[in-house]
Amino acid sequence: MSQILRRLSREQNGQAVVEYVLMISFALMVVTALGIGFRKILFRVWEDITQKTVGGSPLQPSQPKYNIR
């Protein structure tokens, strides 16, 4: 592993390492953004399903207002 890093630093002055780090950080940003968006969509769908199947109860109103983070 250390030989590979030494060879990269000699041949390309670390450009490949920098590009790799940028690519991984961009991929993590995309995955995080998709995860947050998907969570909100999934919560809304789940809320609609439970409201249609369960309905209200004496302890909880039929249309509760949830604060989505």
Q: Residue 47: CB partners within 8 Å, gap ≥ 6? A: 66
Residue with token string 């604060």 = 67
Residue with token string 């995860």 = 35
How many structural domains comprise the chain? 1
Is the model more confident about 63 or about 30? 30
Q: What letter would DSSP give residue 16? A: H
- Residue 31 in any domain: the answer is yes
- Residue 15 in any domain: the answer is yes
Residue 3: its pLDDT value, please? 79
What are the tens digits of pLDDT across the range 12-62?
667 777 888 899 999 999 999 988 888 888 888 888 887 777 765 666 655
**Domain assignment of residue 34, given as a range:** 2-53
Q: Residue 67: CB partners within 8 Å, gap ≥ 6? A: none
Token reading at 13: 């002055």
